[in-house]
Structure 1
Amino acid sequence: MRSRVVVLLAVLLLTLASCGGAVSVSPSPSVAASPFPATLSDFQNRSVTVPSRPERLVSIGPSITAFLFALGAGPRVIGVDDFSDEPAEAATREHVGGIKVNFEKVVALKPDLVFSVKFSDGTIEKLQAASLNVLVVDPQSVSDVAKTATLLGKAVGADGEALARSIQQRVDAVRAKTANVANRPRVYHEIDASDPAKIFTVGPGSYINDLIEIAGGANIAARAASAYPQLSAEEIVKTDPEIIVLAADAYSPKPGDVAARQGWSIIAAVKNNRILTIDPNLINRPGPRVGEAAEAYAKLVHPELFR
């Protein structure tokens, strides 16, 4: 059971570091000339120089992959991580591993530029040691999304600024819609409850916590000490969440399962039938669909605003 939790969180951190459906960003940014060589500062504050327009790209991180395709650089993507399935075309690229990167395969693809989320196992350093140019791109919050669009645009020679503006406008529209709500219901977002004594949820500094706030909710774990804290069932019951949000996938518990948990019948969300589900890929990946994600979450928290 513990191994399943470890894998689940590793996948979540890789995707955050989440998607059914195609990437849809309006307006679609047009490719524009970006001066090369370009010297960029990545998410680890490393200075990376891209000498010329890169033609062979490897993406290690689903959010990164989605951004590259949204920027029109999809045809240049030759390799992706095992979890990059959006847009559908991304899944047809060579796979270079998931939680553990297949170093040899990345090198064999001879990329001009490798985009990767952060790793603490020496992956980045190993790729650099093979004389590969690596740009670390690791969006963890809604505010990181526009920064990512701009950075990637500069790296591949596309109009990242236009994409950033488009994304921010949609997020701001949702924020404006919920800004003056009279009530901000208490929200509990469940990540994993395999161990009922240590249930994973989202805390400050996480992408989903940002979505809850933008949606006009109040995260029950907003004051936790980490981005992905573990709470006991008793702690969750004590906060009396008014809304419970679950991932709508085959591996997550169903609303009926949660309602049937011992002692949970007194929770407001259970009593009022507000145990809701949402597309996990939509809200787990801080990518170009962040505006859509914010709106989807807001519809769960404040459905009255969208009637």
Structure 2
Amino acid sequence: MRRVAAAVSVLALTIAGCADREGDSRSASAADSGFPLTVTTPDGGKLTLESKPERIVSLSPTATEMLYAVGAGDQVVAVDDQSNYPKDAPRTKLSGLTPSPDKISDYAPDLVVIDNDVDNLSATLDKIGTKTLILPAAKTLDDAYAQFELVGKVTGHPDEGKDLADRTKREIEKIVADAPKPADPLTYYHELDQTYYTVTSETFIGQVYALFGLRNIADGDDPSAHGGYPQLSAEKIIEADPDLIFLADTICCGQSPETVRKRPGWDTLTAVRNGHVIALDDDIASRWSPRIVDLVRTIADAVEKVEGAG
């Protein structure tokens, strides 16, 4: 009986020791991951997460790209119907434009990422204990870099988020530094759709073009008019005769250098005659994701082509 009692005592001590080590391990793991965590959101508010989110729902195509870029892809359980990159993201019928709290809750998320707080979605989700991170459209490249870092922090990948921001910034700065510097600023027209909606230099995309000293034909007297997204007329575009035309409506609207050439009077434009109509990927040209580097590189190549032809 004494031997049995001793064995039981040793076993109890062993189990207790293991439990203590496991508890210490969990505590160390929680400390290492940086949780609980409180961050300042882009709107100046505070978001507190008690633990690393393991079930993330993204209702923003740009946020989806960021989540995967910082290494949080395995934590994403659902993305909205417009999140088409990366291709292995768990795309669903969820909508970021008309979000349904009930359908979102079906995925039991511990974090929902959105770019617009439609119908006060964040407050609704908060009532059922679900945290929401709002990442509004970036107004500058620095805003985009800050969001990369923020997404890294809230998902438990702070180093990856900072590295992504630093690396993206360095790549863009190098591309711009290596690009030709035209003696006279080149003019451009950025097309959002075939009804001639465009952007001004006040927008995020407009500021990307400004890195190369390009002059926007849509600026007029007030680049901030119409929220930076005015609708031009064919006559105004023809009159401005831009050196470069960038088409951000190739996927949505089937536009191409060939369709542009067939528009009445457009075959006389400098950009068309010289083959300087550039087809963009609509998604890359409309998101403030890490793939903005691809857009910057495309613009640099276009400037180089014009300068080489000159």
Instruction: State the number of aligned residues.
Output: 271
Query: C-alpha distance in 2, partners of 1:228/1:124?
Result: 27
TM-score normalized with structure 2 length = 0.79
Equivalent residue, structure 2, for 1:113: 111
Matches within 5 A, 1:222-301: 222=219, 223-224=222-223, 225=225, 226-247=227-248, 248-249=250-251, 251-301=253-303
Give runs of ≥4 in structure 1 deviating > 4 Å.
Answer: 304-307
Task: Measure how far apart 1:265 and its partner are.
Answer: 3.7
Distance 1:123 1:85, change over 3 A: same
**Paired residue secondary structure (2:99):** coil
**Paired residue secondary structure (1:204):** coil
Q: Alignment RMSD, CA only?
A: 2.4
Q: Answer whether contact 1:118 1:138 (CA < 8 A) is retained.
A: yes
Matches within 5 A, 1:200-219: 200-219=197-216
The structure where helix makes up a greater share of residues is 2
Task: Measure how far apart 1:216 and its partner are.
Answer: 4.3
Q: Which letter maps to 2:131?
A: N
Q: Which letter maps to 1:274?
A: H
Query: C-alpha distance in 2, partners of 1:250/1:67?
Result: 23
Percent identity over the alignment? 32
Matches within 5 A, 1:1-307: 33-90=32-89, 92-140=90-138, 141-158=140-157, 159=159, 160-178=161-179, 180-194=181-195, 199-222=196-219, 223-224=222-223, 225=225, 226-247=227-248, 248-249=250-251, 251-303=253-305
Task: Measure how far apart 1:251 and its partner are.
Answer: 2.0
Query: C-alpha distance in 2, partners of 1:67/1:210?
Result: 21
Query: C-alpha distance in 2, partners of 1:95/1:152?
Result: 23
Q: Answer whether contact 2:99 2:118 (CA < 8 A) is retained.
A: no
Distance 1:33 1:278, change over 3 A: farther
Tell me whether 57-66 or 111-120 shows the greater mean CA deviation. Answer: 111-120
Task: Measure how far apart 1:41 and its partner are.
Answer: 1.6
Tell me whether 94-103 or 274-283 shows the greater mean CA deviation. Answer: 94-103
User: Which protein, 1 or 2, shows the higher relative CO under an 8 Å CA cutoff with sep ≥ 6?
Assistant: 1
Q: Answer whether contact 1:215 1:302 (CA < 8 A) is retained.
A: no
Task: Measure how far apart 1:234 and its partner are.
Answer: 2.0
**Paired residue secondary structure (2:192):** strand
Structure 1 segments unaligned to the other structure (5+ residues):
1-31
Task: Measure how far apart 1:305 and its partner are.
Answer: 7.8
Equivalent residue, structure 2, for 1:3: none
**Paired residue secondary structure (2:289):** coil
Structure 2 segments unaligned to the other structure (5+ residues):
1-30
Alpha-carbon displacement from aligned partner over 1:230-280 (angstroms, at most 9, x marks no partner) = 112222222221111113326232223222323334422123232221222
Q: Which letter maps to 2:272?
A: V
Query: C-alpha distance in 2, partners of 1:298/1:179?
Result: 8
TM-score normalized with structure 1 length = 0.80
**Paired residue secondary structure (2:119):** coil
Query: C-alpha distance in 2, partners of 1:287/1:45?
Result: 21
